[in-house]
Chains A and B, each alone.
Chain A
Amino acid sequence: DQQVKQNSPSLSVQEGRISILNCDYTNSMFDYFLWYKKYPAEGPTFLISISSIKDKNEDGRFTVFLNKSAKHLSLHIVPSQPGDSAVYFCAARDNAAGGTSYGKLTFGQGTILTVHP
């Protein structure tokens, strides 16, 4: 059972416009969420994160929004640039401190973002 889902396999946007990548989760024990970006032939790189006690975190052109009641998070990229074209993974940390799941990280399937010049 996929506990973290990215239902859009791909997204195409025009340079300068907003990119919105979505992620849904089912496990209420997740309390820390992250986005990673991955270029071909490289490992994922950390992009931005958000704790469950917040509903928004911003870093330059990247903003992550968390809606706990809907178990939904999204990544907004504004403005989008061609260099943003990559696979984006959302991930959730099961932070049951002291429990056997502490340290587990669950990823979504990924969304391929293509930004056209």
Chain B
Amino acid sequence: EAQVTQNPRYLITVTGKKLTVTCSQNMNHEYMSWYRQDPGLGLRQIYYSMNVEVTDKGDVPEGYKVSRKEKRNFPLILESPSPNQTSLYFCASSSTGTDLGTQHFGDGTRLSIL
């Protein structure tokens, strides 16, 4: 089954404690992306990756890091989380070319930073 898997699904943690949200896809997609969803703001892109070792900033990259060492994985790293990063996070993937944009999304990770 084609899918994008995020872990954990829920996490409550404290300010300043480094955390990583993993994302893995089994569709051999070149493109992967991270979004956060906040009330009234919709989905905002954090980082995206066009292929292995290629990453670019989205609209809200501050406070986040990503890496793309393997095609299937695209972890999101919060080095020093703060309460304003409390949000619902989605990872997505797609092929490139004309299909870029018709992304497959994971089911989300709800982060609470106290």
Q: Which of B43, B44, B56 contacts A100 (CB 8 A)?
A: B56
A86-117 vs B, CB cutoff 8 Å, 1 = contact: the mask equals 00010101000000101111111110000000
Given contacts A105-B45, A106-B45, is CB(A43)–CB(B105) below 8 Å? Answer: yes
A49 at the interface (CB under 8 A from B): yes
Residues of B near A19 (CB, < 8 A) are: none
**A105 and B44: CB pair below 8 A?**
no
Q: A43-B106, A103-B56, A104-B48 are in contact. Are A93 and B92 (CB under 8 A)?
A: no
Name the A residues within 8 Å of B83 (CB-CB).
none
Q: Please judge, given known A-B contacts A44-B90, A103-B48, A107-B35, whether A89 and B101 are in contact too, CB under 8 Å.
A: no
- Contact string against A for B residues 58-74, beta-carbon threshold 8 Å, 1 for contact and 0 otherwise: 11000000000000000
A32 at the interface (CB under 8 A from B): yes
Chain B: interface residue total (CB-CB under 8 A): 26
Interface residues of B in 46-87 (CB under 8 A from A): 48, 50, 56, 58-59
Q: Is the CB of A91 within 8 A of B44?
A: no
Interface Cβ pair total, 8 Å cutoff: 63
Q: How many residues of A contact B (CB 8 A)?
A: 25
Question: Which of B44, B92, B102 touches A43 (beta carbons < 8 Å)?
Answer: B92
Q: How far is the CB of A2 from chain B (nearest CB, A)?
A: 8
Q: Distance in Å from the Cβ of A49 to the closest Cβ of chain B?
A: 6
A6 interfacial contact with B, CB 8 Å: yes
Task: Provide the residues of chain B in CB contact with A32, threshold 8 Å.
Answer: 101
Which chain A residue shows the least CB distance to B59?
Answer: A106
Chain A residues with a Cβ under 8 A of chain B: 4, 6, 32, 34, 36, 41-46, 49, 89, 91, 93, 100, 102-110
* Chain B interfacial positions (CB closer than 8 Å to A): 4, 31, 33, 35, 40-45, 48, 50, 56, 58-59, 90, 92, 100-108
* 18 pairs, A vs B, C-beta closer than 8 Å: A4-B42, A32-B101, A41-B107, A43-B4, A43-B90, A43-B92, A43-B107, A44-B43, A44-B90, A45-B105, A91-B43, A91-B101, A102-B50, A103-B50, A103-B56, A105-B45, A105-B103, A108-B42
